[in-house]
């Protein structure tokens, strides 16, 4: 059965009467939760109004040029609510380390739950809690679930709980994401349930459960068991350290993660959590086991000692400022890259005297055509030539660690400085573009990054990245490789330096280059050949401009 719901403008903070600048959908369109429906623009930013649920657009009641505020209805959405299944939290982990099985919600005498057809799974009664944060989503569209498989993990300021499936079937749509706030009755997912007997309600009385015993040692742990999920209890003293029961109970992990850790014999104290507030996720446990068995660097990273906790307030006045969304995303990725990739940085100097002279001659005419002809455009064009000469630098290491993935395309990422932090837009098919075209796309993508209007596909697929700090300063730096790429070029400020021409010293404009690379793929000799070749290309400005518009 379908039901029509209002689409409402969410809280816009201090903004009111915000202009609608774009309509992104039409009646009849099928949309997923969080799909952008309309775009609003203030004097500071543009933002999309997302779909509240998975469904079909019935109508959009606003037009381009209209003005809306928080709470305004902008259309109607048809959603499927044929069979609503109330699901019960499976386990609650208190701050003390106790594990509790929660009671099922009370049901009318003789009431049963349907187990076939399309059903909407919703949040059950959470007691006094509302707006509880989703800290982990365990499912994705297309997943096949069994009864009691965890759907999401919720966390209040006092406890964490897993919400399990009480019907088996295939997930048609996931309606929440990490960071969402949910309350009783909020939709979590749509499932096409397998036909079968009704689920028997659990006991209505909460029952204290003691921790299960440590699994009996088994001959070995296979790598397959570490990636395939829970299996029969396995552990060996030769591969996995003994479980620290006191620390295990204090580890920041959901009940289902604890269950998986016990089945695999993993001491959660030794696992680094990558989830919200450093929560340990299922993938963290599996990665830890796999790393130990294969001797990969992740095993070392998981055992790294923590930095000391310091109460800064006891030394003076402080202010806590939340990280930006970009910093929250990029920080863990940069740390993972630094820990897992053996970095080496090759420093070099490129003579760009003739290049800069030519650029100064051309930039006025280029500006009249709306093109800002920056030095970075020439550097990107030179990088294309160098990557074609050294295709290994344009490659990636395959997941199996035994093969290289050579790419027949050249998509260049470049670091763009924004108020929210560094972003890396991607110029696709840079090898097919002239210096002028690269300069124009650089300007367009940089502006989109500053305005917060970059689309997801404009941030993906780079084969090589350039980070230019020349406009700010610096003589050299060691950029971190943007995995799964195998190299990144850092560009610092150019300066006039004396160069010996065989008879005398002459002033030359020299550009510092810093190439960081993955030493598993690129060795030192290849790296210095790359930067040397890059310098030669930058010195040949006529070659760089060949084929460009005049």
- Residues acting as catalytic residues: 519
Largest pairwise CA distance in the chain:
102
CA 173/CA 363 separation, integer angstroms: 52
The closest alpha carbon to 33, from 156, 145, 182, 150, belongs to 182
Chain-centroid distance of CA 511 in Å reads: 33
Expressed in angstroms, the distance from the first to the final Cα of the chain is: 63
Residue 45's φ and ψ, nearest 5 degrees, are -160, 165
Task: Please give, one letter per residue, the 3-state secondary structure of 137-184.
Answer: ECCCCCCEECCCCEEEEEECCCEEEEEECCCCEEEEEECCCCCCEECC
Q: Where are the alpha helices (DSSP H) in 303-421?
A: 325-340, 353-368, 375-389
CA 542/CA 382 separation, integer angstroms: 12
Extract the tokens encoding 344: 């080496």
Extract the tokens encoding 418: 């924004």
CA 353/CA 57 separation, integer angstroms: 59
CA 71/CA 78 separation, integer angstroms: 19
Extract the tokens encoding 439: 């300069």
CA 418/CA 450 separation, integer angstroms: 5
Place of tokens 């008879």: 503
Place of tokens 């009849």: 28
Extract the tokens encoding 461: 């697929």
Q: Where are the alpha helices (DSSP H) in 433-550?
A: 435-451, 524-539, 541-545
- From residue 242, give the alpha-carbon distance in Å to each of 217, 219, 270, 301: 10, 15, 10, 18
* In contact, 161 and 154? CB cutoff 8 Å: yes
CA 395/CA 183 separation, integer angstroms: 46
């Amino acid at each position: 059965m379908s039901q029509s719901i209002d689409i409402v403008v969410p809280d816009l903070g201090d903004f009111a009467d915000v202009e609608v600048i774009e309509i992104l959908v039409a009646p009849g369109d099928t949309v997923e939760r969080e799909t952008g429906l309309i775009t609003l623009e203030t004097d500071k930013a543009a933002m999309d109004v997302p779909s509240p649920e998975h469904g079909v657009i019935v109508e959009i009641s606003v037009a381009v040029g209209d003005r809306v505020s928080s709470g305004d209805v902008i259309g109607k959405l048809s959603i499927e609510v044929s069979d609503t299944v109330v699901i019960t939290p499976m386990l609650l982990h208190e701050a003390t380390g106790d594990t509790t099985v929660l009671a099922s919600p009370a049901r009318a005498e003789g009431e049963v739950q349907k187990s076939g057809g399309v059903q909407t799974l919703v949040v059950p009664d959470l007691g006094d809690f509302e707006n509880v944060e989703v800290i982990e989503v365990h499912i994705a569209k297309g997943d096949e679930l069994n009864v009691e498989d965890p759907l999401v993990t919720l966390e209040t300021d006092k406890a964490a709980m897993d919400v399990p499936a009480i019907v088996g079937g295939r997930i048609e749509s996931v309606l929440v994401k990490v960071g969402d706030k949910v309350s009783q009755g909020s939709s979590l997912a749509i499932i096409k349930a397998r036909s079968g007997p009704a689920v028997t309600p659990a006991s209505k009385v909460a029952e204290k459960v003691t921790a299960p015993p440590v699994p009996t040692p088994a001959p070995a742990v296979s790598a397959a068991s570490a990636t395939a999920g829970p299996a029969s209890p396995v552990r060996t003293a030769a591969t996995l350290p003994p479980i620290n029961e006191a620390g295990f109970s204090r580890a920041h992990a959901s009940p289902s993660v604890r269950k998986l850790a016990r089945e695999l014999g993993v001491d959660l104290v030794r696992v680094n959590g990558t989830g919200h507030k450093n929560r340990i996720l299922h993938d963290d446990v599996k990665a830890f086991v796999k790393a130990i068995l294969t001797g990969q660097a992740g095993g070392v990273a998981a055992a790294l000692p923590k930095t000391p906790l310091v109460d800064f307030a006891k030394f003076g006045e402080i202010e806590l400022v939340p990280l930006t969304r970009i910093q929250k995303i990029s920080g863990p990725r940069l740390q993972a890259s630094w820990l897992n990739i053996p970095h080496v940085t090759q420093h070099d100097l490129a003579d760009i005297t003739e290049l800069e002279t030519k650029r100064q001659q051309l930039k006025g005419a280029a500006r009249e055509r709306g093109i800002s002809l920056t030095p970075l455009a020439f550097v990107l064009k030179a990088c294309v030539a160098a990557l074609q000469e050294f295709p290994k630098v344009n490659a990636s290491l395959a997941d199996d660690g035994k093969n290289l993935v050579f790419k027949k395309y050249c998509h260049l990422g470049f670091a763009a400085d924004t108020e929210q932090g560094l972003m890396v837009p991607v110029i696709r098919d840079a090898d097919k573009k002239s210096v002028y075209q690269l300069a124009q796309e650089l300007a367009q993508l940089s502006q989109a990054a500053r305005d917060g209007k970059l689309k997801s596909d404009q941030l993906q697929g780079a084969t090589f990245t350039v980070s230019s700090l020349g406009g700010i300063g610096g003589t050299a730096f060691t950029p971190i490789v943007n995995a799964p790429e195998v190299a990144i070029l850092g560009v610092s400020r150019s300066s006039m330096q004396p160069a010996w021409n065989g008879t005398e010293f002459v002033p030359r404009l020299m550009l510092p280059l810093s190439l960081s690379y993955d030493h598993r793929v690129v060795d030192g000799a290849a790296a210095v050949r790359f930067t040397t070749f890059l310098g030669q290309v930058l010195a040949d400005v006529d070659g760089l401009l060949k084929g460009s518009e005049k």
